[in-house]
């Protein structure tokens, strides 16, 4: 088994300077130190997870924009303020259409960095297969980083979450109980324990009134991912150590089965690091975004 380097990020506050801990040592970083115009791309696209919406990235968007990046947060079909009925979404291509439409509209020379959370990992994988030349880097933030021929449902069925995920799920059968589920709802009484066990109360409140059902058909769909397309995009994974939805052990199993270029770790983060560890997440994302282009072999 190939061992991957893991970079551990934590945060200390000292005035307006944040110090990153990288494998034991601290170094200072300031938002205004960056010249993003010199990067391979300074365009970042944020893709939310199942049930979430663009709203969940509000802290990350602000921090990245302050650092000079151009940031777009996508509402996937039936998510956030997108008006489609979640129960009528029948494929991952339909669910991810706002993302793929955005990529299709980019100029010939334009590239982006895709950052996906949770089930958004399957969506950016689908997009990487469609538009590999448009994606400079793909970041999987405690996300479904699948292999060819597998679905997110396959992954979730392999997880041991002490029954917490199963208890929190409520299936919706809009086509009748004799047909497959059309969506999954999360029991709001269990939101904090499952997703936000380290997050501020105000963000849990925001999520409790904003989360929408997750379309079930895309979760069941097995992805076709080729080495020539999907495999040509540089991938990175960000682990969350206190995650009750996708436990750290399972995140590591995904990385072992489908090794990314680099693994970074957010200590003390729950399944919503954009709420629970926004500064540490920001520094990890800047670390990835500022890596130089890969050398051609």
Known catalytic residues are: 118, 243, 271
d(C-alpha 148, C-alpha 159), whole Å: 19
Q: Could you give the residue ranges of the DSSP H alpha helices within the chain?
A: 58-66, 92-95, 97-104, 120-130, 152-158, 164-168, 191-195, 201-210, 216-220, 248-257, 273-276, 278-289
CA 58 to chain centre: 14
Torsion sign over Cα 98, 54, 161, 188: negative
Question: Phi and psi at residue 158, in whole multiples of 5°?
Answer: -85, -10
Please count the other Cβ atoms lying within 10 Å of the Cβ belonging to residue 209.
Answer: 7
d(C-alpha 28, C-alpha 128), whole Å: 34
113 near 289, Cβ under 8 Å?
Answer: yes
Question: Phi and psi at residue 47, in whole multiples of 5°?
Answer: -120, 115
**165 by DSSP, 3-state: which?**
helix
């Amino acid at each position: 088994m190939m061992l991957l380097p893991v970079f551990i990020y934590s945060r200390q506050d000292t005035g307006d300077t944040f110090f990153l801990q990288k494998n034991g040592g601290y170094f200072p970083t300031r938002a205004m130190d960056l010249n993003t115009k010199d990067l391979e791309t300074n365009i970042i696209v944020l893709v939310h997870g199942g049930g979430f919406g663009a709203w969940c990235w509000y802290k990350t968007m602000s921090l990245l924009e302050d650092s000079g990046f151009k940031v777009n947060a996508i509402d996937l079909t039936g998510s956030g303020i997108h008006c489609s009925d979640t129960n009528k979404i029948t494929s991952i291509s339909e669910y991810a259409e706002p993302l793929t439409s955005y990529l299709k509209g980019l100029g010939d020379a334009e590239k982006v960095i895709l950052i996906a959370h949770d089930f958004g990992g399957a969506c950016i994988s689908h997009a990487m297969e469609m538009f590999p030349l448009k994606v400079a880097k793909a970041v999987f933030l405690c996300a479904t980083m699948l292999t060819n021929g597998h679905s997110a449902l396959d992954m979730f069925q392999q997880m041991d979450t002490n029954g917490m995920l199963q208890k929190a799920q409520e299936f919706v059968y809009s086509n009748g109980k004799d047909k497959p589920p059309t969506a999954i709802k999360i029991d709001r009484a269990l939101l904090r324990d499952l997703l936000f066990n380290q997050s501020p109360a105000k963000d849990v409140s925001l999520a409790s009134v904003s989360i929408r059902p997750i379309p079930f058909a895309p979760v069941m769909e097995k992805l076709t991912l080729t080495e020539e397309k999907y495999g040509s995009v540089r991938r990175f994974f960000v682990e969350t150590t206190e995650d009750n939805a996708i436990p750290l052990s399972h995140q590591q199993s995904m990385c072992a089965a489908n090794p990314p270029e680099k693994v970074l770790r957010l200590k003390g983060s729950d399944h919503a690091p954009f709420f629970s560890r926004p500064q540490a997440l920001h520094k990890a994302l800047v670390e990835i975004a500022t890596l130089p282009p890969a050398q051609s072999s």
